Amino acid sequence: MASASTKQKRIAVRLPANTSLKQERELGAFARYCVQRIEKDLGERQQWLVEIDLKNRSYSALVEVHHFGSTLESRGYGHDGPLAVWDAMCRIEQELRERRGAVFASRPKVAND
């Protein structure tokens, strides 16, 4: 099992340069919580990137998941950082669930004899 410091290295959070230390801690903790919640159900991934940006008083978040040479990404939007992160995380979680379902559906069925 990975240690806490190893998990934090797997989850990179990038914020605008003018972000306060308090916002940096809070948004980083929220992003890591979202990743850990997803991984609890769907399994650990190799690398996550959560990038939050502020433009015209609106936030956007980019979430990228890298796993065994494959990359998924999603964007989310909101009136604040956590809403943008939540929107992107919900979208990426749905994509991961759909891909997992497609893998299971493509496997041959085993008879219970």
Quick one: what percent of the chain has pLDDT higher than 70? 81
Span 99-113, pLDDT tens digits? 876 655 555 655 555
Cα 32 to the center of its chain, rounded Å: 8
| pLDDT score recorded for residue 57 | 85
Please check whether residue 30 is in contact with residue 50, taking contact to mean a CB–CB distance below 8 angstroms: no
Q: 56: left (phi > 0), else alpha (psi -120 to 50), else beta? A: left
Backbone angles phi, psi at 6, to 5 degrees: -65, -40
How many angstroms separate the CA atoms of 45 and 56, rounded?
Answer: 33
pLDDT, one tens digit per residue, over 48-58 is: 999 999 988 89
Question: Where do the structural domains in the chain lie, given as residue ranges?
Answer: 4-106
Q: Structurally, what CATH architecture does the domain formed by 4-106 represent? A: 2-Layer Sandwich (3.30)
Give residue 69's pLDDT band: very low, low, confident or very high (50, 70, 90): confident
> Which residues lie below 8 Å from residue 27, measured CB to CB, with a gap of 6+?
13, 15, 19, 52, 81, 82, 85
Distance CA 74, CA 96 (A): 11
What average pLDDT is seen over the chain? 87
What distance in Å separates the CA atoms of residue 101 and residue 99, rounded to the nearest whole number?
5
